């Protein structure tokens, strides 16, 4: 029994997996909520009574997480499940909403994600619920957690896509788009115009709004600093990489990045957090601090400062939680707990937002990190370690090891996300392996040079020209690289996988990696 809970398969992994399965089942069917709650309570009571039998008690308690995840998700989204905004079939003339998050500037308009709980059809108010994209054109500011009443139309996506596309060839695509948006619990879009008189029923939490207010000011400073000495296109790339605002990047350029398999470069994610940490780590290397203090200070600084600058985007908060958990595990016990830390971060994210389980970026970022954590030590044990022992020119050897390590990290991340990627997009794009070799170092130079540009611009403006030119050059080089690699078609294959096959293959990839890790751990222990 005890062997079942030995690393790398530990309590937290079981808890997270069962909780995630419960969440998934809740989105499929909500009919068993009362049964699930009763079973959860019974299992918890049984585990308490069996406390003398420790491992049996723990197993029962862990198993209850399946029903807890199921019950928690339905309770959390009860109103949306029962009165989904997407099912309303009349015109919406007014609505009550709560501002959830800031979603950037689109077409010179601030965009927010808002939760609607009441709608007005011109005669009566109805309790239909769901999230919408809300554009603010008024002179009145909106803040996070503001509760407002708006007297203007709310357009549902199902109506927009149906009315604007009468071409039968696009009908299937529209259905997919509506489903994807509904999976994110986004059902419509609305705008507040200058002449609209919307009423603020309740102001959001003031401290959070102050942080948000100053964050927007910092973003504007960054935009001004970058745009002062750059052409429009390189500026848009730099802005996208630094603060995640890619709305001004032309569509055809974004298409290059998508086709080349490096669109993640333009979306704020764990990659950007790691870049910021690396930059800060390099800066701290000039001070008399040991390795662990430098990594601790740089990581905490990045996790505290960067999320507000990106206006607490969902992806960056997710990446920050993962980075924090991995940092803690690395600092205290870097050899054992990285997998546990990743699952803890996933559990925290799912508790905060169960709907994240359907978010492709969450799935990919989690699996990519898991693949690297599991497989890189294996690669290091069998390949890198032996290469370091080869008698050869040290400079060439070190460069080769670094390049090989970097390439292996990309491959391990790709392999782990590959089944789900094929499921979601029905394409196998091997170009991304080659593209990331060039894109990641270039984006690192762009990010670090952009940071220097912002600092120098606000200290002594003429000095900012030099790092701005570096940003401009690397941005153009990145665009050209993305364009050329996007034209490579022989590394792209049309494939399809259903969800169950994709999950099973992913499980096998992870399982095989864990088996190898166990073998390596045993060999390492025996050598000691």
Residues 112 and 13 in one domain: no
Residues 370 and 457 in one domain: yes
391 pLDDT band, cuts 50/70/90, is: confident
Strands 109-120 and 130-136: antiparallel
For residue 97, how many C-alpha atoms fall within 13 Å in the half-sphere facing its CB? 32
Residue where one domain finishes, among candidates 76, 102, 133: 76
| Domain-embedded: residue 358 | yes
Residue where one domain finishes, among candidates 35, 50, 76: 76
**Do the Cβ atoms of 391 and 384 come closer than 8 Å?**
no
Closest by CA to 323, choosing from 281, 273, 265, is 273
* Residue 353, helix vs strand vs coil: coil
Closest by CA to 357, choosing from 77, 62, 60, 33, is 77
Query: pTM for this one?
Result: 0.84
Closest by CA to 162, choosing from 150, 149, 177, 147, is 177
Residue where one domain finishes, among candidates 25, 47, 76: 76
Q: Domain of 354?
A: 220-527
CA distance 510 to 376: 12
| Domain-embedded: residue 60 | yes
| Domain-embedded: residue 491 | yes
| pLDDT value at 8 more than 50 | no
Beta strands in 173-285 (DSSP E): 186-192, 199-202
Q: At what angle do helices 314-333 and 291-309 cross, to 10 degrees?
A: 170
| Domain-embedded: residue 212 | no
| pLDDT value at 304 more than 90 | no
Beta bridge pairs of residue 133:
113, 189
Strands 130-136 and 186-192: parallel
| Domain-embedded: residue 154 | yes
Q: How many domains does the chain have?
A: 3
Q: What is the pLDDT of residue 426?
A: 83
pLDDT digits (tens, 9 = 90+) for 231-281: 999 999 998 888 877 778 888 998 999 888 888 888 777 777 888 888 888
Residues 453 and 317 in one domain: yes
125 pLDDT band, cuts 50/70/90, is: very high
| Domain-embedded: residue 187 | yes
CA distance 392 to 381: 19
Q: Which is more confidently placed, 319 or 510?
A: 510
Residues 271 and 199 in one domain: no
CB-based contacts of 268: which residues, under 8 Å, 6+ apart?
243, 244, 310, 313, 315, 316, 319
pLDDT digits (tens, 9 = 90+) for 218-242: 888 998 999 888 999 999 999 888 8
Q: What is the pLDDT of residue 470?
A: 94
Q: What is the CATH number of the domain that holds 198?
A: 2.40.50
The answer to which of 87-101, 144-158, 303-317 has the lowest mean pLDDT is: 303-317
| pLDDT value at 180 more than 60 | yes
| Domain-embedded: residue 381 | yes
Residues 132 and 255 in one domain: no
| Domain-embedded: residue 213 | no
Residues 32 and 112 in one domain: no
Residues 514 and 461 in one domain: yes
């Amino acid at each position: 029994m005890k062997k079942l809970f030995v690393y790398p398969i530990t309590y937290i992994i079981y808890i997270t997996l069962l909780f995630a399965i419960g969440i998934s089942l809740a989105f499929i069917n909500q009919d068993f909520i009362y049964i699930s709650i009763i079973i959860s309570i019974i299992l918890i009571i049984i585990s308490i009574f069996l406390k003398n039998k420790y491992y049996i008690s723990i197993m029962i308690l862990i198993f209850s997480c399946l029903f807890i995840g199921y019950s928690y998700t339905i309770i959390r989204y009860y109103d949306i499940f029962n009165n989904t905004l997407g099912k309303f079939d009349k015109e919406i003339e007014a609505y009550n909403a709560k501002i959830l998050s800031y979603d950037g500037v689109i077409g010179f308009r601030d965009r927010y994600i808002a939760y609607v709980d009441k709608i007005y059809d011109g005669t009566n108010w109805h309790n239909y619920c769901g999230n919408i994209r809300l554009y603010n054109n008024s002179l009145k500011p909106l803040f996070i957690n503001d509760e407002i009443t708006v007297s203007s139309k709310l357009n549902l996506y199902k109506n927009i896509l149906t009315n604007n596309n009468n071409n039968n060839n696009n009908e299937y695509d529209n259905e997919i788009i509506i489903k994807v948006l509904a999976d994110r619990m986004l059902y419509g879009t609305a705008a507040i115009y200058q002449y609209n008189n919307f009423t603020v029923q309740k102001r959001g939490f003031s401290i959070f709004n102050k942080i948000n207010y100053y964050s927007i000011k910092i973003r504007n400073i960054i935009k001004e600093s970058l745009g002062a000495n750059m052409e429009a296109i390189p500026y848009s790339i730099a802005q996208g990489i630094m603060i995640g605002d890619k709305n001004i990047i032309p569509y055809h350029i974004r298409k290059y990045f998508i086709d080349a398999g490096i669109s993640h470069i333009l979306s704020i994610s764990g990659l950007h957090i790691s870049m910021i940490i690396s930059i800060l780590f390099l800066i701290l290397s000039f001070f008399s601090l040991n390795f662990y203090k430098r990594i601790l200070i740089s990581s905490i600084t990045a996790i505290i400062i960067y999320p507000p600058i990106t206006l607490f985007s969902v992806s960056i908060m997710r990446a920050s939680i993962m980075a924090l958990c991995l940092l803690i595990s690395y600092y205290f016990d870097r050899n054992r707990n990285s997998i546990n830390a990743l699952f803890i971060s996933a559990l925290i994210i799912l508790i905060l937002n169960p709907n994240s389980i359907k978010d492709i970026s969450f799935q990919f970022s989690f699996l990519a990190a898991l693949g690297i954590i599991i497989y890189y030590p294996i690669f290091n044990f069998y390949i890198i370690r032996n290469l370091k022992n080869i008698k050869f020119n040290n400079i060439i050897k070190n460069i080769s090891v670094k390049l090989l390590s970097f390439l292996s990290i990309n491959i391990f991340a790709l392999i782990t996300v590959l089944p789900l990627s094929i499921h979601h997009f029905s394409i196998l794009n091997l170009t991304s392996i080659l593209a990331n070799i060039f894109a990641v170092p270039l984006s690192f130079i762009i990010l670090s040079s952009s940071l220097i540009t912002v600092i120098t611009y606000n200290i002594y403006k003429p000095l900012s020209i030099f790092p701005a030119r570096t940003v401009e050059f690397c941005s153009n080089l990145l665009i050209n690289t993305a364009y050329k690699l996007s034209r490579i078609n022989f590394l792209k294959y049309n494939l399809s996988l259903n969800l169950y096959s994709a999950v099973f293959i992913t499980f096998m990839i992870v399982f095989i990696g864990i088996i190898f890790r166990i073998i390596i751990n045993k060999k390492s222990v025996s050598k000691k």
